[in-house]
Structure 1
Amino acid sequence: RHVPVPRKPAARGPVRSASVARPLVAMVAAQLTMGAVMTMTPVQLQEHGHGLGVVGWVLSAHLFGMFALAPLSGRIADRWGPHVTINAGLGVLALATATALAAPTAHTSGLPIALFLLGYGWNLVFVGGSAQLSRNLAPETRSRVRGTVDAVVWAASALAGLGSGALFAGGGYALVAVVGGVLALLPLGFSVARDGR
């Protein structure tokens, strides 16, 4: 008796599948936003007469947001799913840039809060994106695709560091914050619109 063998779906490129492309776009946007604002914040503080002590305090708040709350991000991803976690992170990043724009020299309140939110928003996107990739990728392609994603994301980090200087020179810290906010809101808006269909 002949038993038909099911055909495998056609292979797709490592970043063509929506299950890879959507978290990748979000992770790149998060890296660009965080890298640009984080890089220019010490310059902004120094231009307004603040020393290394203030810079260290503000960046400490940022690093706390980036890493200390990762277990919380993991619990959020487990409970509500990676997609919700990514969108929450993009929203937090947009809030961070708005806070930085509203308080560009408030070294005791506004900027530490903005940089903390910047770090935590990035963390949410990174944890959510990593979880979504792990869930959706087959074991035989996971390492290759994750390597590609990491290369693209860290290339975006280098681009953010270079591009933020040009933005700062052209329009100051406000322009850096506005561009960072737009970069976070674009993938969030597309994601919400796609989910609403």
Structure 2
Amino acid sequence: MSPETSQNDRPLTETGRSRLQRRTVLVLVFAQVVGSVGMGAMLAVGALIALDLSGSDAWSGMATTMITLGAAVFALPLASLASRSGRRPGLALGWFFGALGGTVVIAAALAESFPLFLLGMLLVGAGTATNLQARHAAADLATERTRGRDLSLVVWATTAGSVVGPNLVGPTGGLAARLGLPDLLGPVLLTTAGFLGGAVLIAVLLRPDPLLTATAEAARAERERGREPEGRVGLADALRAIGRTPAALLAVVGVVASHTVMVAIMTMTPVHLSHHGAALTVIGLTISLHIAGMYGLSPLVGWLADRVGRVPTLIVGQVLLLVAAAVSGTAGHHALQVTVGLVLLGLGWSFGLVSASTLLAESLPAGVRPRAQGVGDLAMNLGAASAAGVSGMVLATVGFGGLSLFAALFTVPVFALALRTRANTS
């Protein structure tokens, strides 16, 4: 029997649970900082590398498409691995595949192979999936009073790496040049190193595993009540649980809508700015400020979700997304207005993701929660991948304003479900 299993067999006192939760959040925060350091930079240059390799604006959106599709592809396998073996192996393996993807992207750029580039970006999506799933690990041992705060702290931790990353486009480009590589591969080197560092931190430090500990505690509580704990659930069980629980369904739709709107607009922003003559440093700064909006205020968002409620916070997020689409969509060639719109877009995403993820974590029992969270992450990334996939064509057809309007339509189901949920609970 491993030390970790032995730890899970011992009942946790309230003090012990609180101490373990603080340690878990701290480890996740460190891993997020390291693992996300290159992700913002990759977002800033991915579309530009795709444009160079494909020679087409319509295909340039495939960079973000493949990242989000990769996040969708890896979401359920990583969640299933977590359900069987705990958060630690799932998160560490996801970061590792992300690092492998960065290596493939570098090889593709050197070989001038667009298909190989797409494969690399698909693997990079595993890093994105891991970045997203880390927030669920923060909720495993959290109490209802602090669940939103703890989850949001892990989301916030991405700020340091992701905001710094796009501003390293220039310096890492110089490093790449000294290594005999194209300038745009500098951020890819940074992404690869960050993912590998995140994998090592999780593998070494995330002990005891928060999900295994929480599951053991829930099973022990069931036995004390004279009931046998539920066995391991499958995908179909998770889908049924979401469908029959209005709050869980709203949470899944809310996180899908928030992520889809954000990705659809953000994907084509570098291309839109480039078409209007913006320098690479301006594009990097815009994406950096956008990511600051996504993550920088997430602790405040988590506090609001705990104090005001999950659903009201989710609705505020959808309103912010609508305002962001209006601001960026009417900006034309004004880079400053585009930047303001992108900051609001990131803030709306933060409100949506934190509140909906917290709502999902507390709407379902512990046994079904990991797979349901995997379903939610799969759906949000499939939605975002689909939106990103058509964003280049939409931009080419109706312009950036039309693309922003197209993205804004995804908020409608959230408002409808929120009204229905409120009617059912009133």
**Closer/same/farther in 2, CA of residues 149 and 193 from structure 1, 3 Å limit:** closer
User: What residue is the counterpart of 1:6 in the other structure?
Assistant: none
Question: Between Structure 1 and Structure 2, whose CA radius of gyration is higher?
Answer: 2
Q: Does 1:56 align with 2:284?
A: yes
Pick the aligned partner of 2:321 from 90, 93, 116.
93
Offset of 1:180 from its aligned partner? 1.3
Pick the aligned partner of 2:397 from 163, 170, 190.
170
CA deviations on 1:55-89 (whole Å, 9 max, x unpaired) are 11111110101111110110110111110111110
Q: Does 1:31 align with 2:259?
A: yes
User: What residue is the counterpart of 2:342 in the other structure?
Assistant: 115
Pick the aligned partner of 2:411 from 170, 175, 184.
184
In 1, Cα distance between equivalents of 2:421 and 2:362? 20
In 1, Cα distance between equivalents of 2:251 and 2:265? 21
Offset of 1:192 from its aligned partner? 3.9
1:37-76 matched pairs, under 5 angstroms: 37-76=265-304
In 2, Cα distance between equivalents of 1:182 and 1:161? 14
- Taking structure 2 as the reference length, the TM-score comes to 0.42
Structure of greater relative contact order (alpha carbons < 8 Å, 6+ residues apart): 1
User: What residue is the counterpart of 1:79 in the other structure?
Assistant: 307
User: What residue is the counterpart of 1:128 in the other structure?
Assistant: 355
- Taking structure 1 as the reference length, the TM-score comes to 0.88
User: What residue is the counterpart of 2:385 in the other structure?
Assistant: 158
In 2, Cα distance between equivalents of 1:48 and 1:63? 22
- Gaps in structure 2 of 5+ consecutive residues: 1-236
In 2, Cα distance between equivalents of 1:68 and 1:132? 21
In 2, Cα distance between equivalents of 1:82 and 1:190? 14
RMSD: 1.8
**Closer/same/farther in 2, CA of residues 64 and 150 from structure 1, 3 Å limit:** same
In 1, Cα distance between equivalents of 2:330 and 2:415? 22
In the alignment, is the contact (CA less than 8 A) between 2:276 and 2:333 conserved in 1?
A: yes
In the alignment, is the contact (CA less than 8 A) between 2:305 and 2:355 conserved in 1?
A: yes
In 2, Cα distance between equivalents of 1:55 and 1:87? 30
Query: Structure 2 counterpart of 1:123, which letter?
Result: S
In the alignment, is the contact (CA less than 8 A) between 2:391 and 2:403 conserved in 1?
A: yes
Offset of 1:185 from its aligned partner? 3.8
User: What residue is the counterpart of 2:200 in the other structure?
Assistant: none
CA deviations on 1:15-60 (whole Å, 9 max, x unpaired) are 3121221111111111111111000111111111112111111111
Query: Structure 1 counterpart of 2:261, which letter?
Result: T
- Gaps in structure 1 of 5+ consecutive residues: 1-10
- More deviation, 14-23/118-127: 14-23
User: What residue is the counterpart of 2:364 in the other structure?
Assistant: 137
Query: Structure 1 counterpart of 2:267, which letter?
Result: T
In the alignment, is the contact (CA less than 8 A) between 2:305 and 2:313 conserved in 1?
A: yes
CA deviations on 1:166-190 (whole Å, 9 max, x unpaired) are 2112211111100112222442255
Could you list the structure 1 runs, at least 4 aligned residues long, displaced by more than 4 angstroms after superposition: none
